[in-house]
Amino acid sequence: MESKKVFLENEKVKIAVLPLGAELSSLYHKEHRLQYLWQAGDVWPKHSPVLFPIVGQLKNNSYTHQQKEYSLPRHGFAREKMFSVLEQQDHQITFRLSDDEHTRKNYPFTFHFDIQYLLIESEIIITYSVTNTGSEKMYFSVGAHPAFRVPLDLRDKYDDYYLEFDKEEHSGRWPLKEGLIDVAPTPFFDSQKIYLTKELFSNDALVFKKINSNKIHLHSNKHQHGLSVTVNQCPFLGLWAAKGADFLCIEPWQGIADGVQSTGEIANKEGIHRLDAGENYQYRWAIKLF
């Protein structure tokens, strides 16, 4: 199977995608001559992993379905699986992952999981499409985990950057306890902006529920370059950076980690999606560079 990067470009941007995990690995603006995506490294070896069939961590790394226990790692297995190229056009490419004997050992569902990247001007539109190819109800979550370079310009500092939400937010931060969601949030927002510091993520990711905004902008105080992430009604949002790392993950999630009081039954999991036999689910989000 092809394991080399696949490239896609238009007059504005050029992207690269790894068939392993169908992971976006480069996000380069040709006019600005800027790389917007974290280029992996010892502190965190990923670029933009896709989270499927769960988002976050399971309690005891396990779940039950029809009275049988299964095990899944944090964020699922898709990011470590080889995808095939289903279709490629000038400014668009679609990758596919299907169930196999290995996935069915710990995820007893049959599926197609397609990831499409589409370039329009300076925007990358990403669509996740899940199809239940089996005869029984399927349970899953899906999410994005892109890491953007901060600072974009090496003459800047991390603290020169901030996030701006397009609507007023009131969600508290949901603390994580060993990767699980705590029972209650703590107050967080006092404006539509979050000023970045490397201390901000000293207690793991910032996790939010019921975000009002449809767009989240990353800006610099030093210049006009940045990006916008269109999250399209995502019920959960994660913000994260590894300790001391020069990146920021803006993560629209259609799912969330187990809570500390989780029963482990996947049908009752918070944020879980259900697909009847033959049904299809789609989630679309986007990144716009400026």
Asked if residue 143 lies in contact with residue 285, where contact means CB atoms within 8 angstroms, the answer is: no
95 is written with which tokens? 């990758």
> Per-residue pLDDT tens for 140-173?
999 999 999 999 998 999 999 999 999 999 889 9
Round to whole Å and give the CA distance between 272 and 139.
Answer: 6
> Per-residue pLDDT tens for 180-239?
999 999 999 988 999 999 999 999 999 999 999 999 999 999 999 999 999 998 999 999
> Per-residue pLDDT tens for 10-38?
999 999 999 999 999 999 999 999 999 99
Question: Quick one: CA dihedral 197, 200, 204, 205, positive or negative?
Answer: negative
Asked if residue 113 lies in contact with residue 78, where contact means CB atoms within 8 angstroms, the answer is: yes
Radius of gyration of the chain (CA): 19
Q: How far apart are the first and last CA of the chain?
A: 35
Round to whole Å and give the CA distance between 283 and 121.
Answer: 21
Round to whole Å and give the CA distance between 223 and 161.
Answer: 10
| Number of CB atoms found within 10 A of residue 177's CB | 11
6-289 maps to CATH 2.70.98.10: yes
> Per-residue pLDDT tens for 176-194?
999 999 999 999 998 899 9
**Helical segments of the chain, H only:** 103-106
> Per-residue pLDDT tens for 44-100?
999 999 999 999 999 999 999 999 999 999 999 999 999 999 999 999 999 999 999
Query: What DSSP letter does each residue of 190-212 carry, written as one string?
Result: SSSEEE--GGGGTTS-EEEES--
Which residue in the block uniquely carries the two structure tokens 């569902």? 109
Asked if residue 47 lies in contact with residue 25, where contact means CB atoms within 8 angstroms, the answer is: yes
Q: Is the pLDDT of residue 2 over 70?
A: no
Specify the DSSP element, H or E, that contains 67: none
> Which of 230, 166, 239, 132 lies closest to 196 in space, CA to CA?
239
Q: Quickly state the pLDDT bin for 1 (edges 50, 70, 90).
A: very low
On the question of a cis peptide bond just before residue 151, with omega within 30 degrees of 0, the verdict is yes
pLDDT given for residue 128 in this prediction:
98
Mean pLDDT value across the chain: 97
Round to whole Å and give the CA distance between 68 and 16.
Answer: 40
Q: What is the CA 283 to chain-centroid distance, rounded?
A: 11
Question: Quick one: CA dihedral 278, 64, 46, 188, positive or negative?
Answer: positive
The backbone torsions φ and ψ at residue 159, rounded to the nearest 5 degrees and listed phi first, read -70, -5
CB-based contacts of 231, cutoff 8 Å, min separation 6: 211, 213, 214, 215, 216, 237, 252, 285
